[in-house]
Structure 1
Amino acid sequence: MPCRPAISSQSLGRACEHTLFPKIKAASEAGFEGIETFYEDLAYLADVYTQERLEDHGATEKTTEAHASELSEGDLLRAAQDVRDWCTQFHLEIIALQPFQTYEALKFTSAHGEKLMLRLWLPLCHKLQTQIILLPSSPLPPTQLSEEAISTTLCKAADLDATERPPVKLAYEALAWGTLVDKWDYFWKEVQQANRENLGICIDTFNLAGRVYADPTSPDRRLFPDEQEIEYSLDVLKKDLDMSQAFYVQIVNAEDMERPIVQVHAWYKKEQPARVTWSRNARLFAYEEGVYFPVRRIMEVLIKDCKYEGWVSIELFNMGLVDSSSSVPREYAERGMESWKRLEEDFGL
């Protein structure tokens, strides 16, 4: 299929301040055709139903965010069905459920991850009528992970997904701060080694450039003084990547901050990698002012050279998403659509 515009639900306001219905409505009215459903959004909606049941039984205790894992499967499935109905109402396809976190490369899974996938995430996909689960590389400490377990965990998850009818696809993504897998060529090697038809990749422009082009701790926020490293990476991508295994693309850029994220920076957290801090606080839509990743160049390689066709999900994380103003979903949907239109103009989509 030709490239089509989608947006991630968390890019329209964080769930702690903004519910899914206005975000779905805003995405549709802005002109998007698809949406990624963030699990956090589902959990917050399910919590509403949990509170309703508690109140019906005379209970007053509020479920907190820390109890999200204790939400009933029934409430989560009800939330997923409502989201599916709202997306149908507003003519949006749900392109993926994400992220299935901290499972990849675990040394000791004790079958918990497999049970969670089989008992909860696959039924949620069925309710949502989506056929993709996004699995990011793990940022857990090295003591909890092993390179040998990467292939094992990927194969187990993909095989479970394949039991669904229709089969669910698993899109593997390399986080720029992943412990063992932090570059696109690393995750592509693992996908090839696993050799599962329903196991592919999600290419995220922030994570790609954030690892081989940028360094938020450097005075100029560059990993190297020129673009030689990212050009080399893109040249290899053009030669090696099978685009039939690219299940979708996330396009997002980064704010060019005035100061590096080091100890004197207001965002600095000793226990948190600087790339995580940057990712959570200072992502921007692809073509907005103040960005500096070479996202247009990455998309040129994907669309023109690699002939990518499929969903392009507009993504963003920043501090503005926790603004409680009711205008946030509409504002961010419109900003995201402006970036999509610029992409359309650049490449004649």
Structure 2
Amino acid sequence: MINYKGTLLPTSFATCSIGYKEAHTLPLKFLAISGSGFDGVELSMPDILAYGKVLNGKEPDPEDYDALVDIGKTIKAQAQEHRLKILMLQPFTNFEGWPKGSHEREDAFARATGWMRIMRAVGADIIQVGASDSLDISSSFDDLANDLAVLADLGAPWGLRIAYENWCWATHAPDWKHVWNIVQKADRPNIGLCLDTFQSAGGEWADPTTESGLIEGVYREQLEAKWKESLAELSRTVPPEKIYLLQISDAYKMDPPLEAKVNREGLRPKGQWSHDYRPLPYDGGYLPVEDFVNAVLRTGFKGWLSVEVFDSKAPGKYSDMAEYGKKAMASLEKLLQQ
């Protein structure tokens, strides 16, 4: 827990954001995260697969849900040993918007059913759904919302919730206002938002493909005014109970800027930026992280603050997980003090 104006807020650390996959097993990550004062973890699927290899000598098939459920039960016991709650399973990608009857839609719902089995095994009650970056999905927010509503109904009997997150390179829902619109259309009690300092500031204010690192084509004063208006609208319109967690990271200003095109893997520039250049706040980034955190707190939000960073620019920062975990907690404390 971390104190904010007399209120204790729970804290989490994404398992994909600490340590090296090959050298640091999931129990070692749990030890470092717990020892740094965090209350819970976002559990990433790559970490489940990696720990399955530790347990069984080979990495399991991502679609072998019977095996993944068994691995999940062991992970739950490890988390309990370190007094950590497994808050969420992530990242669930490219789920919503596929044409009805398509192979992609069938695969999306088959994955969802399997992931929900794993969630029950590990004791997580939230699945993070990232706004899809596929070019082949529907642009209709009604269609996207309907898929999320069906997903929410699938999870409801087990008390599972859907945290929908805007990814700033998403095809149709890159901003918090887009995903909030879709969540409202879905209209289910177990669908809410996963908000993220990087995804919103990196989407509405910054740009890794420009020399300035900012969105260009508008005057700086206009950019700042639009950003402040967006934050004020968030604080005014989103109920705090619909924000399931706030993920926290910063971003490096890219020098040289990223090329304004997709890479070999088909990932857009802001996706490339997200995957590799997101440090802790106060550790070399430049986004207005404090602005966004303040806007979320002004809603009355008293939920989970979760560290999710991807800092391949300086991998040495990850070598000592205990030290890095403590640095992350200090970063959160400074952020709330500001």
TM-score normalised per structure 1: 0.86
CA-CA distance at 1:334 after TM superposition: 2.2
Any idea what the Cα deviations from partners look like across 1:242-297, whole Å, max 9, x if unmatched? 1211011101111123321127x9x9659431111111121011232x21111111
1:297 aligns with 2:291: yes
Q: Deviations over 1:10-53 (max 9, x none)?
A: 111343443211111000111111111011100121233443xx
Return the alpha-carbon distance in structure 2 between the equivalents of residues 144 and 235 of structure 1.
31
> Residue by residue, what CA displacement relative to the aligned partner does 1:114-162 show, whole Å, maximum 9, x if unpaired?
23222x2122111211111100001112x34442430121111111011
| Residue 231 of structure 1 pairs with residue 225 of structure 2 | no
Post-superposition Cα deviations, 1:294-333, rounded to whole Å, max 9, x if no partner, equal 1111111211x2121011001101216866x983422331
User: Equivalents in 2 of 1:105, 1:261: separation in Å?
Assistant: 29
Report matched runs for 1:171-250 at 5 Å.
171-224=163-216, 225-226=220-221, 227-250=224-247
**Structure 1 stretch 275-284 or stretch 1-10: which is displaced more?**
1-10
| Contact 1:12–1:330 under 8 Å retained in 2 | no
Unaligned runs of 5+ in 1: 52-61
Aligned length: 323
> C-alpha separation between the residues in 2 aligned to 1:163 and 1:91?
26
Task: Confirm or deny: 8 A CA contact 2:126 2:162 kept in the other structure.
Answer: yes
Equivalent in the alignment of 1:82: 74
Equivalent residue for 1:97? 89
The DSSP-based 3-state class of the residue aligned with 1:254 is coil
Q: Measure the CA separation in 1 of the matches of 2:286 and 2:116.
A: 38
Aligned match for 1:286, one of 267, 281, 289: 281
Report the alpha carbon displacement of residue 202 of structure 1 after superposing the two structures with TM: 0.5
How is 1:115-154 mapped onto 2 (pairs within 5 angstroms)? 115-118=110-113, 120-141=114-135, 143-147=136-140, 148-154=142-148
Does the Cα contact within 8 Å between 2:18 and 2:29 map onto a contact in 1? yes
What are the equivalent positions in structure 2 for 1:152-167 lying under 5 Å apart? 152-164=146-158, 167=159
Q: Which runs of 5+ in 2 are unaligned?
A: 1-6
Distance 1:326 1:261 in 2: 24
Correspondence for 1:39? 45
For residue 74 of structure 1, report the CA deviation from its aligned partner: 3.1
Please give the secondary structure, in 2, of the residue aligned with 1:99: strand
> Would you say the 8 A contact 1:12–1:328 is kept in 2?
no
Cα distance in 1 between the residues matched to 2:72 and 2:315: 23
Q: Does the aligned pair in 1 maintain the 2:167–2:174 contact within 8 Å?
A: yes
Q: CA deviation at 1:104?
A: 1.7
Alignment of 1:320-335 (within 5 A): 327-335=319-327
1:30 aligns with 2:36: yes
Paired with 2:38 and 2:55, the residues of 1 have a C-alpha distance of: 28
Match of 1:69 in 2: 62
Higher mean displacement: 332-341 or 292-301? 332-341
Residues 156 and 338 of structure 1, relative CA distance in 2, 3 Å threshold: same
Q: 2 CA distance for matches of 1:92 and 1:336? A: 16
3-state DSSP of counterpart to 1:209: helix
1:188-233: per-residue Cα shift (whole Å, max 9, x none)? 0010011000000010110001110001111101014242221111
* Distance of 2:61 and 2:209 partners within structure 1: 34
Alpha carbons of 1:326 and 1:189: their partners in 2 closer, same or farther (altered >3 Å)?
closer
Aligned CA-pair RMSD:
2.4
Q: Under a length normalisation based on structure 2, what TM-score does the superposition of the two structures give?
A: 0.88
Q: CA separation in 2, counterparts of 1:292 and 1:32?
A: 25
When residues 99 and 217 of structure 1 are mapped into structure 2, their CA distance, relative to the original with a 3 A threshold, is same
Q: Greater relative contact order: 1 or 2 (C-alpha under 8 angstroms, separation 6 or more)?
A: 1
Q: Does 1:275 align with 2:267?
A: no
Query: Identity, % of aligned pairs?
Result: 26
Q: Which residue of 2 aligns with 1:12?
A: 18
**Aligned residue in 2 for 1:309:** 302
**Where has structure 1 moved over 6 Å in runs of 4 or more?**
none
Within 2, Cα distance between the matches of 1:4 and 1:189? 27
SS at match of 2:232: helix
Distance verdict in 2 for CA 1:31–1:309, change over 3 Å = same
Q: Once the two structures are superposed, what CA deviation does each residue of 1:71-93 show, in whole Å capped at 9, x if it has no partner? A: x3232112211221111111111
